[in-house]
Each structure stands twice: as structure tokens, then as C-alpha cells.
Structure 1
């Protein structure tokens, strides 16, 4: 595995942690029948904003009073790629 810049690693590892700490809100699927995942947003706000800008998560309107973020389908795909990169297995 090659070296990763600290800023990039922080973003990648935050995405992985968001994904691994995910939870379902009310066990309701989205309109496609897929589960809707959320994660608590206790991470660096700049990094969360970068992940939001890339459409990996949705924080709602800024500034948001929500304490959780929605993990998008793109975010789930990216988290799975990053977990493979770092050799992390899902639950």
C-alpha cells in the first residue's frame, strides 16, 4: 500500500468510520427498497463538508442542527472501496 497524505487519510478514514458506525432510522427503506443509513456527525466539520460536497453524505441545510448525517448510495460505495483499500471487513 502506498503512502497517503494526512488530509486525504483523514477524509477517507472519516468516511469509513461514518459507514461502520451507521444505523437505520426507524428501519424504513427508501423508495427503492434499500435501507436508509445515518451516522452521528461527531467528526471534523471541514471533513464532513468535503464529504457532503462529494455527495457521499447529506448533512441537510447548512448550518444544520441535525446531529446525524445521511450516507448516500455513492457514500456507501466509496466506503466499501476504502474499506477494501485499508483491509477492513464490514460487520
Structure 2
């Protein structure tokens, strides 16, 4: 089954986020690893900036975007989407 442009964009942005939050360890310096979830510090910073609702419990992986967060995400997609080969209509709403 062919993936939609939105699915491809999500996949590519997730890969970028995984890379940006990846790390190596002394015993395996050539192996780059990333946690399955997004960086906790980044999530905390997004909540502090008002883009996400602060979590009641860090063990809960669900995060809630605020209206400001949704608008900021759309703004960022408009800026970086074209450089990744995506048009606004590709990522939908």
C-alpha cells in the first residue's frame, strides 16, 4: 500500500527527531541510539512554552497540544515542509 504525503512527512520528521535526540555510548561509539519516545527535556520545554499541557504524570506518554502548540506546529511545517519536498496540502489538518 502506498503511503500518503502526510505519512511520509511524519516518517521523515520522526527520523529527524530521532537523529537529533540520539546518542552513543563509550562501549559502542559507532552505534547511534535513540529512545522510542521523544526527548523528555524537549517535551518539558514545549509545555513550559505553552505549546503542550504539562503532564500530570511523566509515566503517561500521552501529551496534549494547546491551541498555541497546534498553530506553532503548523507555522513550523510551513517553514520546513517545502525544503523537505512537501506542500501545505500534503500534511492536511
TM-score, normalised by the number of residues in structure 1: 0.48
- In terms of fraction of residues, the more strand-rich structure is 1
- In terms of fraction of residues, the more helix-rich structure is 2
In our comparison, the structure showing a higher alpha carbon Rg is 2
